[in-house]
Amino acid sequence: MKNQVVIITGASSGIGKALAFEFGRQGAIIVITGRNQSKLNEAASELQAANILQHAIVCDSSSEEQTRKMIQEVVDRFGRIDLLINNAGISMRSMFETVDLQVLKQVMDINFWGTVYATHAALPYLKQSKGGIIGISSIAGYRGLPVRTGYSASKFAMNGFLEALRTELIGTGVHVLTACPGFTASNIRNASLTGDGSIAGETMREEDKMMSAEEVAFEIRKAYEAKKKTLVLTFQGKLTVFLNKWLNSLMDNLVYNTLKKEKDSPLT
């Protein structure tokens, strides 16, 4: 990764920031994006303190215009793009019956369309460098989760998009990896949207019992270096994907009963 230009969307915290450190320590030039200027500046300062060459760009991934400007700024500054990591994402937690549909649209705009916008804008440069694309998806892209209909829909869409794109790009030298962490200790649940679109502000799960963002980032880098097409993390995640494929009815009940135990779950 020495001197390769790596763009990571939504990298001011969580898995995105951990990926910035993971690839940066391999000698890559790291470009981080995010919507919050102060958090982005803080992450950039941390990377700089670790002697990682970095550049921060304020960018709302749900905006095609901002995303295209971001990609152009990277090309103008560094002359190339070697790896695009589509990490920007948001979650939601609400029963579908009572959710404001704008919440689902917002989740889809960031998680799915954000991936589409960045990939479309960066693809010509990635083909020139024979680089790569990583999509940070979720187990929810394989198995729909109750109370997270919008989130699951966005990740299913992301998985299908990346699989189709990977197939289109055969012979171009561009590698595509779809990475699906299980529940990871990060701020995504604190920042998840409720049914009315407000920010939850707290997690509903035991964060200390999950994989850390740093562990996830390490596994993703190793999978990318090994040219894997997909990465499903944690035993629970692998088991969920396997059982959902072969024992779908059983999984309905298992998933329901598991998520019913979450703090303040609306499931009864």
What are the catalytic residues? 151
CA angle centred on 89, ends 100 and 226, rounded to 5°: 145
Question: Quick one: how far is CA 177 from the chain centroid?
Answer: 12
Residue 58's nearest CA partner among 67, 48, 50, 49 is 67
Do 119 and 84 contact (CB within 8 A), yes or no? yes
The 10 Å Cβ neighbour count of residue 235 is: 8
Do 145 and 255 contact (CB within 8 A), yes or no? yes
Sheet strands side by side (includes 54-58)? 54-58, 29-34, 5-8, 83-86, 132-136, 175-180, 230-232
CA atoms of 194 and 151, how far apart (whole Å): 12
Strand partners, 58: 34
DSSP 113: I
For residue 84, the SS3 value is strand
